[in-house]
Amino acid sequence: MINIIIPLDFSQTSFNAAHYAANMYKGRADVTLILYHFYGHGEDVQMAKNYLISLQEELGRMGSNIETKLESGERFIDCLAAYAHVTRAYMVVMGLTGKTPQAQRFSGSNTLSMSEKGICPVLIVPEAAVYKGISNALITSELKFIEETPCLLTVKRVLQYFKPSLHILNVDSKYYIELSEACSAEKDKMEDLMKEFNPEFYFMNLYDFHESVDVFATDYNIDMIIISPKYHDFFGKLFKTLHTKKLIYQSNVPVLAVHE
């Protein structure tokens, strides 16, 4: 059974993430969605249970297998990461409200912290995202040190169910007319490793990474952006860089963060 955990703080953003995941895996008998709520001191636990049961019934009517988990402890992210590890979670789906600095401090910090744990892939769902299928997926890559790794196998596993058109985007201000020999060789490796998805490669020489990805996602109707420290030297510590934070906070497209 594939376990997908959806943390809920009962905000509209977290409810939207739950509906997104339910639609994404609707009708999958091999998938269980686990509605997870971490309660703090003084919280009305019975009310939290009622919320979870209500949402469980609602999503269950969509044809999804739904379970609930209510938990308390010292720190939300540590407890969530431990639970994801114990249940061998396939994915964690989290909402993100990040258009303002205040929202980034509260909603954003927890989502990014979970992504840093590296327990399993984290799908980060923007607050207004509506699931319409995964027809076009985008991997951003520097095309360096390409090889078949657990990270790449995880990406392939996620994509195999949706079978999207795969777009691989390299943003580098140094490329203008032609690729370097080394970059061309890495491109060939990536093309071979992802051949089941018939990948198309694109090269942009804009200086603003976030702007490049945003423009590309709009022009090519991208449904999911995939990022990983494996694909970027400057993602040495995931989500510690301005590049990545800006991409995630401002994206209108769900972002799948995959660790090595």
Supply the pLDDT for residue 175.
55
Supply the pLDDT for residue 215.
85
Distances (CA, A) of 68 to 6, 17, 88, 193, 200: 9, 15, 16, 37, 40
Each of the 260 residues of the chain gets a pLDDT tens digit; together they read 899 999 998 989 999 999 999 999 999 999 999 999 999 887 889 999 999 999 999 999 998 899 999 999 889 999 999 999 999 999 999 988 644 444 433 455 788 788 878 889 999 999 889 999 999 999 887 776 566 667 788 889 999 999 999 999 887 656 555 667 877 888 888 899 899 999 999 887 766 677 778 888 999 999 999 987 554 444 444 344 555 666 777 788 999 988 76
Supply the pLDDT for residue 248.
73
Distance CA 162, CA 134 (A): 6
Among the listed residues 147, 119, 123, the one whose alpha carbon sits nearest the alpha carbon of residue 137 = 123
Distance CA 165, CA 138 (A): 9
What size, in residues, is the chain? 260
Domains located in the chain, CATH noted: 2-126 (3.40.50.620), 136-257 (3.40.50.620)
Q: How many helices (H) and strands (E) does the chain have?
A: 9, 10
Supply the pLDDT for residue 249.
73
Residue 175, H or E segment: none
Supply the pLDDT for residue 60.
94
Supply the pLDDT for residue 41.
81
Supply the pLDDT for residue 67.
97
